[in-house]
Amino acid sequence: MNAQRKAPLAHEAEISVFGRGVGECVVVHLGDGAWMVVDSCIGERRAVALEYLELMGVPAAHVKLLVISHWDDDHIRGAAEIFESAPDATWVVSAALKTEEFKRLILAGRDPLTGTGTHEFDRLFGVLRSRKQGQRLESVGPRWVSEGTLLWETQQARVQVMAPSPATMTLAHNEIASLLPVEGEKRRVVTQGRNPLSVVLSVQFDGRSALLTGDLIASSNPETGWNGVLRALVSAPKAALVKIPHHGSVGAHHDGMWDTLLEPTPLAVTTTYNPSGLPTVSDRSRLRALARASYLTSTPGGTRSPHRSGDRTIRAVVPELRQVSAGAVSSVATRQRSNYSGRLS
Amino acid sequence: MHHEWEGTVVSLADDSFRARLRDLSGETPEEYADFSLASVSDDDIALVVPGAIFHWFVGYRIEASGQRGTWSGIRFRRLPRWGKRDLAALKQPSDLDEFFETK
């Protein structure tokens, strides 16, 4: 296959951030042909990480770590496809999810009438089961991680887990239990995971560092959210690049992250989340003021206003829908695609 | 009928709701959109809660005048409630147990 994009050299780190208005995925070259994928979203037709690796002629088998920061729909779509394609990859997941309640939530999602947004997790466990084949479970995962876990270490690269904090794991039981169905409740789909349970990573390469933050948000609890990360202060160098947490929302902003974990005026990359209009204009202004350069992975779509008439609703809901009155209802333009890609060395 | 999406309500506002749309033809990527509550029938309005599932149809119809016009409709699925037996089943041993064991 002819590669359409040059893959990084063995001594180069590369961090590529994808997000097309819904969904987030970070693809990291850890040096020497080893790759890490953090979260997953769908590209043109399948997991964007696989499409990107293919673009460079890199076999999916070179993915060594697949990290799921949390189980929001927009961070996990296509993860099982990546895991199936990467037989040497270790699936890494927040230890905050290792609860009886989360297991029940996945089981509830098997109800053919509903689903809980945990289908992709169930599929990931299915891949593990097929991979197990008599091996000790610990050798196939998942690898449940929390603050302080060292995920990867070579002469060049090091990946450390900064969150979830121990206090977050204690709270996770209640957080997830609140999503479980109760007797008499109508069946429905649980569409959101829990951002405070998110994994945060420090990726270090030849003395430079990047901070990958998932959707971790600020918290009033001094031991959870960004407070928990700062309280622990797992020893990691200040980062020159940050994947901004939770699509740049003000609820994920914490001065301590900027002051303590990042170099002054770092590079900032934000994935857009159009359903909530994130990042907002004021979010973007705040990020530009704090960062040396602030990138978005796609043009923010903002929120769409509701409309009352049927025809106006059609036009508002799918603005790309072309020639509604001329018979081309099924013709829908694809969204624009863009991403941020930067090399540390 | 020309096109159909399956929607999941993700949030509710005073006079509208936001939904994730899956194109059942598989032709287009997932979309998020806002719908007016006025576009939901009186029979279905009580069903509009986060997590509710609905189908959105878009097509054409011939008006009495003979002219062709666009038409769209929203129908919410009526799902059964969780019962004691359903919830008890979630506590039974399962193929996930081995992954969640704590030592």
> How would DSSP label each residue in A90-158?
EEEEEGGG-SHHHHHHHHHTT-TT---S-HHHHHHHHHHHHHHTTS-GGGT--EEE-TT-EEEE-SSEE
Nearest CA to A301 among A323, A317, A285, A322? A317
pLDDT tens-place string over residues A194-228 = 677 889 999 999 888 999 999 998 888 888 889 98
> Complex ipTM above 0.90?
no
The residue that leads in pLDDT, A99 or A323, is A99
Quick check: A112 contacting B, CB < 8 Å?
no
Which residues in chain A have Cβ-Cβ distances shorter than 8 Å to B88? Answer: none
Determine the pLDDT at residue A318.
Answer: 35
pLDDT confidence tier of residue B82, bands split at 50, 70 and 90: confident
Which residues in chain A have Cβ-Cβ distances shorter than 8 Å to B18? Answer: 275
Quick check: A328 contacting B, CB < 8 Å?
no
Residue in the block written with tokens 């990859």: A89
Distance in angstroms (rounded) separating the CA atoms of residues A83 and A240: 29
Give the number of other Cβ atoms within 10 Å of residue A170's Cβ: 12
Dihedral of CA atoms A94, A100, A103, A108 in degrees, nearest 10, equals -140
Which residues in chain A have Cβ-Cβ distances shorter than 8 Å to B15? Answer: 306
Chain B: give the shortest CA distance to residue A113, in Å.
7
Alpha helices in chain A (DSSP H): 48-55, 73-76, 79-85, 100-108, 119-132, 166-177, 225-232, 255-256, 281-290, 310-317
pLDDT confidence tier of residue A90, bands split at 50, 70 and 90: very high
Distance in angstroms (rounded) separating the CA atoms of residues A75 and A335: 18
Chain A: give the shortest CA distance to residue B35, in Å.
5
Residue A323 identity: Q
Distance in angstroms (rounded) separating the CA atoms of residues B4 and B76: 13
For the record, the structure tokens of A209 come out as 């560092």
Quick check: A129 contacting B, CB < 8 Å?
yes
Residue in the block written with tokens 């998932």: A214
Count of residues making up chain A: 345
Determine the pLDDT at residue A34.
Answer: 97
Instruction: Please say if the pLDDT value at position A319 is more than 50.
Output: no
**Helix pair angle (A225-232, A166-177), 10° resolution:** 160
Of A102, A307, A332, the CB nearest to B28: A332
Instruction: Please say if the pLDDT value at position A316 is more than 50.
Output: no
Report for A22-31, A268-277, B32-41: range of highest mean pLDDT: A22-31
Answer yes or no: do B99 and A304 touch at CB < 8 A. Answer: no
Residues 32-91 of B with CB under 8 A from A: 32-39, 47, 49-53, 58-60, 70-72, 79-84, 86-87, 89-91
The DSSP element (H or E) to which B32 belongs, if any, is strand B31-36
Residue in the block written with tokens 């509701």: A306
pLDDT tens-place string over residues A4-30 = 788 999 988 899 999 888 889 999 999
Answer yes or no: do B34 and A192 touch at CB < 8 A. Answer: no
